[in-house]
Amino acid sequence: MSPSREETTLWARALVEELVRAGVREVVVAPGSRSTPLVMAFAEEETVRLRVHLDERSGAFFALGVGKAGGGPAALVTTSGTAGAHALPAVIEAAQSETPLLILTADRPHHLRDSDANQAIDQIRLFGPFVRAFHEVAPPRINDHALRHLRALGVRAVAEAMGPPAGPVHLNLPFDKPLEPEEPGAALAAVPEETGLGRRDATPFVAVSTGSRAAPPEALETLAETVTAARGVVVAGPLPHPGAGEAVRRFAAAVGWPLLADPLSGARYGPAEGAHVVAAYDLFLRDEGVRQALEPEVVLRVGATPTSTALADWLVEHRGAHQVVVDGGGRWKDHLALARSYVAADPADTLLALCDVLEAGGAPGAEPDDEAAQAWRRLWRRADEAARATLAAETFAPAEAEPEVAALLVEGLPAHATLFVSSSMPVRDVDAFGLPREEPLRVLGNRGASGIDGIVSTAFGARTAGSGPLVCLVGDVAFFHDQNGLLWSREDDLAVVFVLVDNDGGGIFHHLPVSDYDPAFTRFFVTPHGLDFRHAAALHGLDLRDVEPPGLPDTVARALGRGGSTVVRVRTDAHASARKRRDVALRACAAVRDALAALTPITPIPHTR
């Protein structure tokens, strides 16, 4: 017998109450019938912001953005059938980047499955291995035990999404008709008050305590001895943990090692406080002679794989060094198989604990200011200075200005702003040309799976959790992929300024060997589209302004001051920008080679990159 409307209403409310009490504050609803009980239950919750979007994929990426910015887990609610399947790209990104996310898919009741019923597909484990947890929620059953289990499941789902490690969690909920709500009078009377209405003090049904993975004392002791090496380097890849960047900088300052910080690490932008945050390493590490001159004894790595291929080449070239990975996440973070030591522990906590050990004088070994350590620091500072001087002397024609756009945004955005940077060339340009700065700047991106889908929606989602302004640097192909995401601009609290680099196609392919194979290269890889995105902006009532790079900082500042969402377009040429990137890298490598030659012998190796 199908549950009554009262029973279905109470069932949905019990689950939703626990999700909210456990911390869910943002809910994205994609319209549909089968999810009616969930939507109506969320609508009863005063502390939740419900947002509606017509496209489930854009909705999922928006919820992902909430988690990326530290406001998660947000929840996406979909109806049955293919609706939930559209969330798969966002679920994959959440899994790979360790971002909290909840997906609630309504489903047909069990007796309609595998029977040719309309809009009924197999939704069991719809997202395969990409979720931290999957729960097939039982059909509505109103008794004390069933409701206790349901409420506990709601709290558990949020805890699983938050981790550690954080990630996506999928709840699949079968509902039979009738779906519309009815105040549960008789249904409530049939169960104890605590399970029917939740705990009186509005706390979660279960108090779940979780914590980061701590490094054992013996691992800390070994690390403390290892980091006394004179020629050490800290490499910070993308880190999902808020505040981890500050811990990385403090550690780099404590050991006196140069810090190679990916823009998504949280460690590149902010008060250095004694740390040497190296600029433009992606440019000068392309030179084999420079890489050889900068040979480390120890490399301590935290975070996911850095964006820079040149940095990866340097790590491979010095695989004989003692490379240590510190990471407490759910995935193995050593795809090049270079680690000699792997400490499965939270990186921020571990580095801060190491700082305490070092500051207490508990690590035997070389003194941090001995001659070898000073010589090592001088090498990196000379390289940094030479690379900065090269970039400062560069001029960019409008057609070749893609790197300049990234540099201007990093330099000019106000303190505590957020820069959401698209995958493909934008994040690479920020990595190579976005110099470290003392003013805090949060940089976010979807580098877990490095897709260009969902960028617009993720940026809007990230705006929910930030107190400062948000600018999104995005290429034209990524912008095209998520034009539906512009619908989020209707929300009154989601002002985003999009800096659209429009080179009429896929610019990253110009840096690959296949670029020599025209006309197939242009047709199948660059794929020029000839679209005018002014029409896409107008469809959503947005202003689109064309600007040349020198006017970009003022245009962005005015757009931020006006409020609301705006598209600022910079037209470039992919061929010219690719040539410019190569030319700047050659000049930076030459300048750094000359600077280092005065301090250490450098083998004269022809530049081949």
Q: What percent of the chain has pLDDT over 90?
A: 86
Higher pLDDT, 396 or 367: 396
Whether 430 has a pLDDT exceeding 50, the answer reads yes
Whether 605 has a pLDDT exceeding 80, the answer reads no
Q: Confidence class of residue 397 from pLDDT cuts 50, 70 and 90?
A: very high
DSSP letters for 548-587: -GGGHHHHHHHHHHH-S-EEEEEE--HHHHHHHHHHHHHH
pLDDT in tens, 559-570: 999 999 999 999
Closest CA to 157 of 2, 289, 18: 18
**Residue 65: CA atoms inside 13 Å, Cβ hemisphere, count?**
33
* Cα separation, 390 vs 406, whole angstroms: 16
Average pLDDT over residues 79-86: 97
Whether 71 has a pLDDT exceeding 90, the answer reads no
Of 235-239, 241-245, 329-333, give the range with the top mean pLDDT: 235-239
Whether 446 has a pLDDT exceeding 60, the answer reads yes
Closest CA to 239 of 410, 75, 68: 68
Residues 6 or more apart whose Cβ sits within 8 Å of residue 576: 397, 399, 400
- The topology (CATH level 3) of 217-376+388-393 is Rossmann fold (3.40.50)
* The token pair that represents 146 in the structure block: 């069933």
Q: Where are the domains positioned within the chain?
A: 5-192, 217-376+388-393, 402-571
| Helices marked H in 360-443 | 371-393, 402-412, 425-433
Whether 365 has a pLDDT exceeding 50, the answer reads no
Check: CB of residue 336 under 8 Å from CB of residue 308: no
Q: What is the CATH number of domain 5-192?
A: 3.40.50.970
| Helices marked H in 298-450 | 309-317, 347-359, 371-393, 402-412, 425-433
pTM of the complete model:
0.94
Same fold, 217-376+388-393 and 402-571: yes
Check: CB of residue 87 under 8 Å from CB of residue 78: yes
Residue 601: what pLDDT?
A: 76
Question: What Cα–Cα distance (Å) separates residue 112 from each residue in 11, 117, 122, 577?
Answer: 20, 6, 11, 56
Residue with the two structure tokens 């997202």: 127
- The topology (CATH level 3) of 402-571 is Rossmann fold (3.40.50)
Residue 608: what pLDDT?
A: 42
* Cα separation, 450 vs 424, whole angstroms: 7
Secondary structure class of 407 (helix, strand, coil): helix
Residue 521: what pLDDT?
A: 72
Higher pLDDT, 52 or 508: 52
Residue 47: what pLDDT?
A: 96
Average pLDDT over residues 194-198: 95
Question: What Cα–Cα distance (Å) separates residue 440 from each residue in 26, 266, 345?
Answer: 26, 9, 26
Residue 609: what pLDDT?
A: 40
Q: What is the DSSP letter of 437?
A: B
Whether 606 has a pLDDT exceeding 60, the answer reads no
Whether 366 has a pLDDT exceeding 50, the answer reads no
